[in-house]
Copies of this chain bind each other. A is one copy, B any other.
Amino acid sequence: MPLTLATDLTEDTGFRILLERHGRAIEFASGRTIYGTGDKDSTMMLITKGRVEISRTSIDGRRSILTHLGAGDMVGELAALDGMPRSADVVAATRVQGLVLTRAQIAALLRDNPEAALGVIETLCRRLRETSAMYTAHVLADGQARLARLLLHLAEKWGEPMPDGRRRLSEKFSQSDLGDLVGLTRESVNRQIREWEQAGIVMRQGRGLVICDLAALLCVAGAAE
């Protein structure tokens, strides 16, 4: 099972060329909302720099983060492909630069280039597998296992390798972000991480986190399924 939610619509589908030729460059300051739930616009963006958070918020203000996407990932493709309203919020987690395509441009590409359509289908299939894997993971695994998986996933996607082979995840994610990513409170995340720290499984380094004992985390993560 792939560990990342990153879309890569760009590989071999003609999208990359289309974007580089016709994409409109755009930039967002950290914290700015890029797309909002319910919005009816239908552009998509290739992220060229920075990191973006995709989330939903319930009536009572609780937030669920679906994923974070970064350079090379596409964001907003759903609305761009099917023309329906946005189904989640997209917020710039850092300063973000990207290239924007409109629904019309994409539709034209798909009509003219059947190969591109096949690539899109493959990407959507991958996303669907990943999302439904997230769903069952959330139903079947407890908080500890979900957090372990999350750390492994984040370390792979965002972490830097360290000289000794361990992985370092720098100061990008607050404990409450981690909580919103796995459906736990900030306090629970804190207690779990401290426990792992005491057990030597992870280490705090400044504001960053280093995964020392990858095998142990894998073991916790794999306890269910």
Contacts and interface: CB of A to CB of B under 8 A. Distances in A.
A59 interface: yes
Contacts of A140: 56, 58, 62, 64
How big is the A interface, by class? 35 or more
A31 interface: no
Nearest to A59: B225
A164 interface: no
Contact of A132 (B57, B66, B136): B66
Contacts of A99: none
A59 B219 CA distance: 13
A131 interface: yes
Give this chain's copy count: 2
A129 interface: yes
A130 to B, nearest CB: 9
Interface stretch (A15-23, A119-127, A149-157, A188-196): A119-127
A139 B183 CA distance: 6
A163 to B, nearest CB: 35
A58 B131 contact: no
A126 B59 contact: no
A81 B225 contact: no
Contacts of A132: 66, 87-88, 131
6 contacts: A59-B223, A64-B135, A66-B132, A87-B132, A88-B132, A134-B135
